[in-house]
Structure 1
Amino acid sequence: MVPRPDVVDHILPYIDAPLVKVLTGVRRCGKSTVLAMVMDELRSRGVPNDHIIRYNFDSLEFDDLKTARALYGAIRERVAPRAADSATTYLFLDEIQEVEDWERVVNSLMADFDVDIYVTGSNSRMMSSEISTHLTGRYVTFRVFPLSFREFLAFRRAAGENAEEGAGDTRRALADYLRRGGFPATALGGFSVEEIYAIVRDIYNSTIFTDIVRRNQIRKVDQLERIVRYTFDNVGRTFSAAAIAKYLKSQRRAIDEETVYSYLDKLERAYILHRCRRYDLAGKEILKTQEKYYLADTSLRYAVLGYDPDSVAAMLENLVYLELLRRGWEVFVGKVGDAEIDFVATRRERRMYLQVSQAIGSAQTEEREYGRLLAIRDSHPKYVLRTDDFAAGGHDGIRTMHVADFLLSDEW
């Protein structure tokens, strides 16, 4: 296993805390491997193997344990004999959403035994809004994302590829990362780009048809897929449900706005999409219209729609957006009058503003990218992130960085 300390280190402080540790994220983002890393950490601390119990509910091995009563009975048989030695038993329940009323099982186990519980899941039943009604005050969530750029480089080194040491090498690797994406399953196998997209299409299909269509009993699958293609093709652009409804009507696929919103919500709850709301910097309020959507991984766009060089600018935005989320920032699209700031990121009392550009090829583009940030009259950090060549130094207090350098930076 290639270590993922940026993920695991957030979980380790909660070992033995009386809280259910809930790991969520899109399918195949590495949640199961993160569980294995936590298990290895426990063994390194001297926890014996017979006090570490794992169930993976994607496996047929546990197919008869997908009711609350059956699972509780099976775990009780394994945990009860260990209760006499007064040592904690560590339970790892992978893809727990496959178990009916799993929350009841977890609550009962925590009440009846000395257990430390870790669960993973990949759909709406693992959203905080759903869990909070069943595990009130007794859980902590960790969002697991596909590989960051830093992790992508580490996986490449582990696979025996040349380590990216120089700036030129790192920046070439960024282009590779953008096209190949960060699903761990594709990072170590020496796959071609087309082979990667075949794997990612399978991830996409299993998510759409298992976590959305089957679970929500959706009959108009073609309608859902057209909405998916629309959102994938409009990453980084603000749009409304009305715009999608109008687009589908032009294709002779009538749909009302509420149904569009319902489908977008289901895609978000399956962790395929991330919704980025707009924030009015003048009025200091979150706006409820014209949101943006970003993908769980850039490879999803290319696997579903094919590669298009014109999409690179939007996918760079997508990379920056995901990295901000990984590091715990809350992210909005900024509104300044009639202008738009790509990202307003906040974390506790901190804030920063970011513009992302593939290239700045004219004075007019430079004025647009920098001018919007200069219009913000506060002292919070401001960045223009780009992938072309630029002169070193600041620009009236605005820091210019290559996207690759920003993704790898520890300064923010």
Structure 2
Amino acid sequence: MINRPLYLDRIRPFIGKPIIKVVTGVRRSGKSTLLRLVQAELKNKGVSDDLMLDINLEAYSNREFKNPDALHAYIAEWIGETGGSEELHYLFLDEIQEVEAWEKLIPGLQVEFNIDVYLTGSNAHFLSSEFATYLSGRYVEFEVFPFSFSEFMRLRAEDGCVQTPDEAFDVYRVLGGFPFLAYLDYEQDPCREYLLSIYDTVVLKDMIERESIKDSALLGELLPFLIANIGHTFSGRSVERMLEGENISISIGSVLKYIQVACDANLLYRAPRVDVMSKKVFKNQEKYYLADHGIREAVYGNNDRNIDQVLENIVFVELIRYGWKVSVGDKPIEPSKNGSASKEIDFVATKGSRKLFIQVCYLLAEESTIAREFAPLEDLRSDFPKYVLSMDKVDRSQNGIIHKDIRTFLFEADELLK
């Protein structure tokens, strides 16, 4: 069980405090393992096993607890048998959305008992609506993602696999960071099958079943299209037109609804387009990225042939993993001397009073590529850090713009992004 200090450091200040801790994220990203890590930390502090109750609500053996009355009775009995309300108890409930009317049960637990509650859920929909309504001001959310590249490297080292960063990144950029892949020794065919099973489960349980989607065939056509085109600008109308070209009929309303459902399931993430000068948010031409780029390899393939898109996805997820809000930068500029009139900045990331401007590309192999990637940042009047990230080994930093090998940037994320 690999330690994940990025998430533990965030949770630690809230341990033992009367606020509900909610861990969200795409399926199989390590939410349950994070709860085990919290339990291990409690044990190290002297908390006995009797004072901790861990229930996986998706397990068949726990099916009776999908009834909130049965779950409440079991919790009350456990507390009564292990010190009563004098002792602080720790409750861990995996996949809380499986419990009927859970949103009415959970708020009362901390009122009725001396209890510290930790929940996991596979999609963010219940947080954005139901949870916010019933637990306003009484919960804190921690979103978990599959392994970052640095976590991936640490796991490989702990498993005794000796690889250079370049060799490890060759694997990571194709298959991604879902923790279970380590058990498959990163063999490509079994890993693709496993990743496809995650995708199928998310679509079936977190999208079709939860949202009562009737036209699952249409959703099945749209999602692979979106996944193939991560990092490309979208509007509802543009998606409608492109699908029409494939003889697939879908309304703009359905496109927007299904995209939102995919975002609620923590499968896709939206990067809005923002004017970097006026801070105006545009209502179309957004970009979307995947929770983990390995899903793209399983569903669509071609990660290495579409490496620019994959690298963008990796950087985007790394930024939001560290709590940055990420937008696509839109800034009208005058054509530069070299003829480039590009105005898009791949990522404008903000975190409190901090801001980063980032361009991502595969290789800076030609002068025209260097001009295209650097020009939007050179014309940007800002004292905040500006980065161009690529897989080049040669440092091409210039005019106050920092160029980094993307692998180095990912390794230094704790220093640069925390």
Which TM-score applies when normalising by structure 2? 0.94
Q: Distance in 2 between matches of 1:125 and 1:396?
A: 44
Cross-structure match for 2:78? 78
Kindly state the Cα deviation for residue 308 of structure 1 after the two structures are TM-superposed.
Answer: 4.7
SS class of match (2:103): helix
Query: Which deviates the most, 100-109 or 398-407?
Result: 100-109
Kindly state the Cα deviation for residue 247 of structure 1 after the two structures are TM-superposed.
Answer: 2.1
Q: Does 1:232 align with 2:227?
A: yes
- Within-5 A mapping of 1:105-116: 105-116=105-116
Kindly state the Cα deviation for residue 395 of structure 1 after the two structures are TM-superposed.
Answer: 0.2
Kindly state the Cα deviation for residue 388 of structure 1 after the two structures are TM-superposed.
Answer: 2.3
Cross-structure match for 1:5? 5
Query: Which deviates the most, 249-258 or 191-200?
Result: 249-258
Cross-structure match for 2:42? 42
> Structure 2: where are the runs of 5+ without partners?
333-341
Percent identity between the two aligned chains: 37
Q: Distance in 2 between matches of 1:91 and 1:27?
A: 21
Instruction: Work out which of the residue numbers 256, 259, 280 in structure 1 matches 2:254.
Output: 259
Q: Distance in 1 between matches of 2:283 and 2:327?
A: 12
Cross-structure match for 1:196? 191
Amino acid at match of 1:289: N
Instruction: Work out which of the residue numbers 295, 298, 303 in structure 2 matches 1:303.
Output: 298
Cross-structure match for 1:289? 284
Q: Does 1:348 align with 2:343?
A: no
Kindly state the Cα deviation for residue 389 of structure 1 after the two structures are TM-superposed.
Answer: 3.4
8 Å CA contact 1:83–1:113 kept in 2: the answer is no
- Within-5 A mapping of 1:125-204: 125-162=125-162, 164=163, 169-204=164-199
Query: Which deviates the most, 297-306 or 172-181?
Result: 172-181
Query: Which deviates the most, 26-35 or 170-179?
Result: 170-179
Q: Cα deviation per residue 1:104-134 (whole Å; 9 max; x = unaligned)?
A: 1111111100000000000244433431101
Q: Does 1:406 align with 2:409?
A: yes
Cross-structure match for 2:30? 30
Cross-structure match for 1:394? 397
- Within-5 A mapping of 1:358-397: 358-390=362-394, 392=395, 394-397=397-400
Q: Distance in 2 between matches of 1:186 and 1:359?
A: 28
Q: Does 1:94 align with 2:94?
A: yes
Equivalenced residues, count: 406
> Structure 1: where are the runs of 5+ without partners?
none
Which TM-score applies when normalising by structure 1? 0.95
Q: Distance in 2 between matches of 1:94 and 1:309?
A: 35
SS class of match (2:402): strand
8 Å CA contact 2:79–2:85 kept in 1: the answer is no
Q: Distance in 2 between matches of 1:42 and 1:98?
A: 26
Kindly state the Cα deviation for residue 83 of structure 1 after the two structures are TM-superposed.
Answer: 4.8
Kindly state the Cα deviation for residue 67 of structure 1 after the two structures are TM-superposed.
Answer: 2.2
Q: Distance in 2 between matches of 1:270 and 1:329?
A: 20
SS class of match (2:86): coil
Amino acid at match of 1:153: M
Q: Does 1:327 align with 2:331?
A: no
Kindly state the Cα deviation for residue 176 of structure 1 after the two structures are TM-superposed.
Answer: 1.3
Q: Distance in 1 between matches of 2:78 and 2:84?
A: 12
Kindly state the Cα deviation for residue 85 of structure 1 after the two structures are TM-superposed.
Answer: 6.4
